[in-house]
Structure 1
């Protein structure tokens, strides 16, 4: 379930309470009159079945409280209540299938920000990848995959394409288009220094066959990117962080960028171009898979969604319904 917290101007509280009372997916409704100081007003709280979240948020936003008060929505890890079970049963669809779009938009908006922290993480990841390539160390490359923050903007771009949010799309593309070149240029400088120090040799990179998968583009390059993108988006909308970590270590976005830099510094241009191709295939594959997953999830006005209708057709029920 989701916990809804609203600061409502006193003159709008009664209308807000009526809206919440009329939705069967809302329970544990409480009102604290005059308790809010900034902005001034009343505090209204409720627990909302996840699959009813889109409608409830739309109804609350229609009151204009976004401008006159404030709305906070956060996931609830555990609820022990018969009333909550009834609310989940009354809401259409299945909690595990529901996407709360406002929540997803806010999360991806933050993850797609171009800032010093994002660039720093991506730069560190590229540096680790270049070291892994130079030393023929798959373990170091896996570390680079985990550190890389690029899935955030890619997920945001998928959400933006599905929701036709072109501002978020531009924000995501800008983050990737600026951060990757910056990280690769810094990695290029570091690699040249390491070559001058004798830490990296042409033979060392050419003979690093344990990391050939980074630049060798094949059919499974796209397949892995699609599978990873689908798993990543599912983990994002269902808050499965462990699955998201698995996504990070399955695609070669950052390692491909690092390999391209190292290969270019030693004149291995064909490998540099192949690595760049691998990077492009993975980026596009993740975004495409994310869009497909979101298109299959419940949409506004269709709370069951294609997956929900299929499950109903074959007689599947949620744990609460059972």
Structure 2
């Protein structure tokens, strides 16, 4: 269940109440008249089944409440109520399959910003992956994969393409286009330092059995990227964010970027090129699969909404 709070101008409140009362997936409807101070108005609260929340938000936005008032949603971990149970049973579909598009836009928009923290995490992940490759440590490489923050911008690009939001595409694309080259440049500089201090010699890269997958590009590279894109998008849209860790471990983006820098500094151009290709295949595959998953979700959601309107009529 989700908790919905609406700040509504007094003249709009009757329409808000009618919308909420007509929705079978709503429970615990509460009205606080005159409780809102800025903006002034009434406060309406309700618990809403996740599967009907997106359509309900869309209906409420037609009343211009996102401009004249406010609409907020928060997840409820525990709800002990027969009324809530009945509302969830009456709502069409499954809550875990429902996509809240406004929530998706907010999450991807925030996580795709080219911020200091984003660049710091990406750079540290690249450095860890480089050290993991140099020392042939799969554990360090996997740790770098978990640390990498690149799925946020990738998801933003996919969402922007599906929703035709140029701002999301631009923001996510900028984070990737600036973040990876800068992280790779710093990793290359660190590799030069390792060379100068004797911590690395080119021969160390000859027998990397544990991490050879970084630059071994093949059909499974694309297949894994596509599967990761689908899984990551499902985890993002269904609020099962814990599953994203598995997605991060499965894709070879950060390790490929890091090893491309190390190999280039050491003059191993074939391995550097293959690593760069691995990075490109993974980035493109994730975006394509994520966009396809969102398109399917949008289509099924539209069908569910049409069925809801027909049953209400």
CA shift digits 1:224-271 (9 cap, x unpaired): 111111111111112223311111111110000000000000000110
How far residue 34 of structure 1 moved from its aligned partner, in angstroms, is: 1.7
Secondary structure of the residue that 2:4 maps to in structure 1?
A: strand
Structure 2 matches for 1:1-322, cutoff 5 A?
Answer: 1-299=1-299, 300-303=301-304
CA shift digits 1:118-156 (9 cap, x unpaired): 111100101111111111111111110011000111111
Q: Distance in 1 between matches of 2:17 and 2:277?
A: 55
Secondary structure of the residue that 2:304 maps to in structure 1?
A: coil
Q: Distance in 1 between matches of 2:85 and 2:260?
A: 53
Q: Distance in 1 between matches of 2:98 and 2:283?
A: 26
Secondary structure of the residue that 2:198 maps to in structure 1?
A: coil
CA shift digits 1:65-123 (9 cap, x unpaired): 11111111122223222222222232222222111111111111111111111111100
Secondary structure of the residue that 1:208 maps to in structure 2?
A: coil
Q: Distance in 2 between matches of 1:42 and 1:301?
A: 31
Secondary structure of the residue that 1:15 maps to in structure 2?
A: helix
Q: Determine if contact 1:298/1:304 at 8 Å carries over to the other structure.
A: no
Q: Distance in 1 between matches of 2:9 and 2:139?
A: 56
Structure 1: give runs of 5+ residues left out of the alignment: 306-322
Secondary structure of the residue that 2:99 maps to in structure 1?
A: coil
Q: Distance in 1 between matches of 2:254 and 2:66?
A: 39
TM-score by length of 1: 0.91
How far residue 55 of structure 1 moved from its aligned partner, in angstroms, is: 1.4
Greater Cα shift, 115-124 or 5-14: 5-14
Q: Distance in 1 between matches of 2:54 and 2:302?
A: 9
Secondary structure of the residue that 1:301 maps to in structure 2?
A: helix
Q: Distance in 2 between matches of 1:27 and 1:5?
A: 13
TM-score by length of 2: 0.93
Q: Determine if contact 1:225/1:286 at 8 Å carries over to the other structure.
A: yes
Q: Distance in 2 between matches of 1:25 and 1:37?
A: 29
For these two proteins, the number of residue pairs brought into alignment is: 305
CA shift digits 1:29-78 (9 cap, x unpaired): 11112222222222111111111112110111111111111111122223
Structure 2: give runs of 5+ residues left out of the alignment: 307-313
What is the match of residue 310 of structure 1? none
Secondary structure of the residue that 2:12 maps to in structure 1?
A: helix
Q: Distance in 1 between matches of 2:298 and 2:97?
A: 7
Secondary structure of the residue that 1:43 maps to in structure 2?
A: strand
Q: Determine if contact 1:233/1:290 at 8 Å carries over to the other structure.
A: yes
Q: Determine if contact 2:55/2:305 at 8 Å carries over to the other structure.
A: no
Q: Distance in 1 between matches of 2:82 and 2:287?
A: 40
Q: Distance in 2 between matches of 1:100 and 1:65?
A: 17
How far residue 304 of structure 1 moved from its aligned partner, in angstroms, is: 7.1
